[in-house]
Amino acid sequence: MKNQNHIIKQFELSPHSKAGIIIVNMENEEANEHDVSKPHRDNHCQLMLALNGNFKLNIDFENIEFTAPALLCIFPEEVHHIIEVQNPKGWMISFDSSLVSKEVLQLLENKINNPFLLEQRSNFYQQLIILMDLIEKLQSENTNNYIQKSIHSLLNGLLNLISGEIVSNLSLDKEKENRSIIIKETFIRLTKEHFKTWKKPSQYASALSISVAHLNDTVKLLTGSPVSVHIQEASVLEAKRLLYFTDNSVKEIAYEVGYDEPVYFGKLFKKVTNFTPLEFRKKFRD
């Protein structure tokens, strides 16, 4: 069925949020202020701690199914919607990314598995529950700036706890390997932020203060694809979102993802996906 909207809806933090953060108990049936069953974006980060329930949702064309307990992270650029949820219990915390260090956000975005399955008997699981429960209680009693600062501190404590658990599961033994991974992950983050205007590898190399050759060698070694391919794929992913979720023309979408020549964009899209833009729309949506 065709989507008659001409934009992908993007929702802001709830008006009930205070100082860039809000936590919602999933057992509250009236917690959702907009229709989460329809594809949308949020201009903020979301972290779900599911204690119970069965979940099926879609994030950027990928269906994700899991049974609690688990963690799930959703980031602002990702188009997502809930397909089905049964017997949910836990919390969803939404927060402005400016409240958290870039290092922690980058680690979560690059390293956390969606879903991050949990062991109920672990200390980590119990600590997550304690922090989420405390944030919820403080939010309900929020009467002054010091309580709000406490909530911010607890959020950062929660995300640092999760980051520590992720890092403990990684096998990063050599300093050289660590440096290479940092370069690759920072580059991937930059493509998501700048794909509309930065089309040249030299722009990313300059931002990372390294040579184009070093950037390309590092990225190709770790991913199997050169820098130019990742830059193109970032634009094509956004184009897929617009083709699927809007009725914008191919020309409009080409401009939206940073290409002034729709014909060139069409050839690039087919090179990456094996479909023309209209073939993609017809096959996956119409």
Residue 203 is which amino acid? Q
Token readout for 50 is 């599911």
CATH of 10-168 given 3.90.1150.10, 2.60.120.380, 2.60.120.280, 3.40.50.880: 2.60.120.280
In 3-69, beta strands by DSSP E: 10-11, 21-25, 41-42, 45-59, 62-67
What is the reported pLDDT for 277?
A: 94
What is the reported pLDDT for 1?
A: 42
Q: What is the pLDDT of residues 199-240, one digit of tens each?
A: 999 999 999 999 999 999 999 988 889 999 999 999 999 999
What is the reported pLDDT for 175?
A: 47
100 touches 82 (CB < 8 A): no
Q: Is the pTM of this model over 0.85?
A: no
58 touches 83 (CB < 8 A): yes
The domain ranges of the chain are 10-168, 175-284
CATH topology of domain 175-284: Arc Repressor Mutant, subunit A (1.10.10)
What is the reported pLDDT for 172?
A: 46
The helix, strand and coil proportions of the chain, stated in percent and rounded to the nearest 5, come to 50, 20, 30
Q: Which uninterrupted H or E stretch holds 256?
A: helix 250-256
Q: What parts of the chain have a pLDDT lower than 50?
A: 1-4, 172-175
